[in-house]
């Protein structure tokens, strides 16, 4: 019994999503692996509800509460990230590499975009009162959110 569990675990960990979850210190349950697969298959930053609906359409019988709880755990463990869109909805993202977002006010879609890294290095938090760089503020990451109308290029 124990040996077969080990074999199953080893087979499962050949899946990069399961490996990522295990490396983050979480058990790679079927629900978590399915959530990460669904997020990696899209770049549109779905909400928990949209993700739960997509998993349902793929025939994955994962309850909405399970999707919510596991999204939280995956964010906490650093397997995925989340952001809040301008409509206040929490959205989820499997892209961990540094990137910025463009929120389309017309469609509600969120697109991944990049900003010149040299420009990002120049940005410093300025104290609104003194107009000088904030002392003691150690920047770990700069997140820029562009908001506007995004028109898909015409083919």
What SS3 class is residue 84?
Answer: strand
Handedness of CA 128, 132, 136, 137 (dihedral sign): positive
- Residue 104 touching Zn ion (CB under 5 A): no
CA distances from 34 to 5, 99, 125 (A): 20, 24, 39
- Residue 91 touching Zn ion (CB under 5 A): no
- Residue 112 touching Zn ion (CB under 5 A): yes
- Residue 93 touching Zn ion (CB under 5 A): yes
Nearest to 38 by CA among 21, 23, 53, 19: 53
62 versus 110: smaller Cβ distance to Zn ion: 110
Quote the least distance from Cβ 51 to Zn ion, whole Å: 14
The enclosing H or E element of 25 equals none
Compute, in degrees rounded to 10, the torsion defined by CA atoms 31, 68, 95, 50: 100
Yes or no: say if 79 and 37 are a contact pair by the CB < 8 Å rule: no
Quote the least distance from Cβ 111 to Zn ion, whole Å: 8
* Options 7-15, 30-38, 87-95, 141-149: segment touching Zn ion (CB under 5 A): 87-95
69 versus 95: smaller Cβ distance to Zn ion: 95
Any long-range contacts for 52-59 (C-beta under 8 Å, 24+ apart)?
58/34
Quote the least distance from Cβ 10 to Zn ion, whole Å: 32
- Residue 32 touching Zn ion (CB under 5 A): no
29 versus 145: smaller Cβ distance to Zn ion: 145
12 versus 112: smaller Cβ distance to Zn ion: 112
| Interface with Zn ion (CB under 5 A) | 93, 95, 112
């Amino acid at each position: 019994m124990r040996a077969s569990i080990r074999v199953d675990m080893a087979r499962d960990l050949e899946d990069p999503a399961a490996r990522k979850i295990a490396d983050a210190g979480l058990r790679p349950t079927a629900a978590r692996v399915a959530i990460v697969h669904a997020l990696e298959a899209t770049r549109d930053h779905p909400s928990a509800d949209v993700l739960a609906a997509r998993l349902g359409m793929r025939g994955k019988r994962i309850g909405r509460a399970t999707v919510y709880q596991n999204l939280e755990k995956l964010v906490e463990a650093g397997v995925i990230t989340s952001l809040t869109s301008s409509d206040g909805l929490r959205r989820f993202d499997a892209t961990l590499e540094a990137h910025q977002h463009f929120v389309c006010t017309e469609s509600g879609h969120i697109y991944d975009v990049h900003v010149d890294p040299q420009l990002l290095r120049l940005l410093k938090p300025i104290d609104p009162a003194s107009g000088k760089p904030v002392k003691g503020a150690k920047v770990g990451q700069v997140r820029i959110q562009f908001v506007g109308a995004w028109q898909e290029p015409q083919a």
